[in-house]
């Protein structure tokens, strides 16, 4: 059986801090093996296999 871990990122907070553009954030997460699986308002939900 597959096991996953999840990460939730508040993109509004990330943008306000001037940390990353949305495109850069998605690319960064993808390079680390994270897959975007959902969006709930300003919260982007990622998962990856462990």
Cβ 46 vs Cβ 36: under 8 Å: yes
Q: Which of 16, 11, 2 is nearest to 38 (CA)?
A: 11
- pLDDT at residue 29 in the model: 95
- pLDDT at residue 16 in the model: 65
| CA of residue 6 relative to chain centroid, distance | 9
Question: Residues of the chain whose pLDDT is less than 50?
Answer: none
CA distance 50 to 48: 6
- pLDDT at residue 12 in the model: 84
- pTM for this structure? 0.83
Q: Where do the domains of the chain lie?
A: 4-49
Backbone angles phi and psi of 20, in degrees to 5: -150, 150
- pLDDT at residue 18 in the model: 67
41-50 pLDDT, tens digit per residue, is 999 999 999 9
């Amino acid at each position: 059986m597959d096991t996953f871990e999840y990460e939730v990122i508040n993109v509004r907070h990330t943008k306000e801090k001037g940390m990353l553009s949305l495109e850069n954030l998605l690319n960064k997460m993808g390079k680390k093996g994270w897959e975007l699986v959902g969006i709930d308002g300003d919260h982007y939900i990622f998962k990856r296999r462990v």
